[in-house]
Amino acid sequence: MKNSLFIGLCTTYSDFYKYKLTLMESFSCLDRSFDGNCFFYIVIQGDNFDNLEPNFGKLNVHVKHESFLGISNARNLCIKKATDVGSEYILFHDASICWTEDSAKFIFRYKDDMPKVNISFSDKIKNYDCPTLTGSERNVNPIYDTYVGSYLFKLEDISGLRFNLDFGPGQNTNFKSGEDVLFLFDAFSIRQSYNVFEAEKKIMIYHPPRDSDFSKHLLYAKGQGKMFRILLARFLSLSIVKDIILFFGNAVFRCLLLKKNSLKILLQRVTGFFS
């Protein structure tokens, strides 16, 4: 099927150029694994671009410029476009992510089984040439299996869903995190199953290492608090209550250990939860 896989890349102008080489590698791996039946849609966010039209050779790449800065809005544009072009599967791709041959082949092989790959926070991208490309079924918890870009979705399962515009990185959002978790809970509740086919440990996608000063934890804390408030209201269960207790308990424990930014993180989580 032409355009079988829709890859939605949401990025800023600066991040696109920062990660362009790894993006080309990532796109090429995905395109080869799906026999060239890919539709790459790049949503460039912000006003600081000069009619960017990236050259990806023979890849089927299309670009949309969007002034609104927010990852959720950009991903919603991707869902709409994927529906318009009649794609069967959709993958959400971030600028800093790199897919390997193994990970791309894995999602192609198990594309009808809700495949999920692992994520490594490392600059050292490795392809292990796994001969088996095996995995196993597992029930996931989106609170811990957070990253939406590690899943391959059937478009028919999520075409009616949208990311919450209040959440996610971007200047025009109120809460800088939580968008992936909320979307995944919606997606799995529609499927009425949290079961995925997860790749063996060596099959992974790569993300640059996170800062060691917990600055991202502080940036995301308020959104995480608000996210838990929404989950408590919409998906009330013993498991959610337990995760909320662990969420705040961890923040308190970090304060006792005098970890950097720990008190600020705790206060932001509380602020978000009660906002």
Amino acid of residue 64: K
Contacts of 98 (CB under 8 A, 6+ apart): 22, 23, 25, 26, 125, 205, 206
Confidence of residue 4 (pLDDT cuts 50, 70, 90): very high
pLDDT score recorded for residue 57:
82
Tokens of 209: 């290492």
CB-neighbour burial class of residue 247 (10 A; exposed 0-12, middle 13-18, buried 19+): middle
What percent of the chain has a predicted confidence (pLDDT) above 70?
Answer: 97
| CATH code reported for the domain at 5-207 | 3.90.550.10
Cα–Cα distance between 120 and 87 in angstroms, integer? 28
Contacts of 197 (CB under 8 A, 6+ apart): 110, 113, 114, 115, 116, 135, 136, 137, 138
Cα–Cα distance between 81 and 87 in angstroms, integer? 9
Q: What is the pLDDT of residues 115-124, one digit of tens each?
A: 999 999 998 8
Task: Give the chain's mean pLDDT.
Answer: 94
196-209 mean pLDDT = 95
Q: What is the pLDDT of residues 143-154, one digit of tens each?
A: 999 999 999 999
Ranges of each domain in the chain: 5-207, 215-273
Q: What is the pLDDT of residues 85-114, one digit of tens each?
A: 999 999 999 999 999 999 999 999 999 999
Confidence of residue 198 (pLDDT cuts 50, 70, 90): very high
Q: What is the pLDDT of residues 40-85, one digit of tens each?
A: 999 999 876 566 666 788 899 999 999 999 999 999 999 999 999 9
Q: What is the pLDDT of residues 14-47, one digit of tens each?
A: 899 899 999 999 999 999 999 999 999 999 998 7
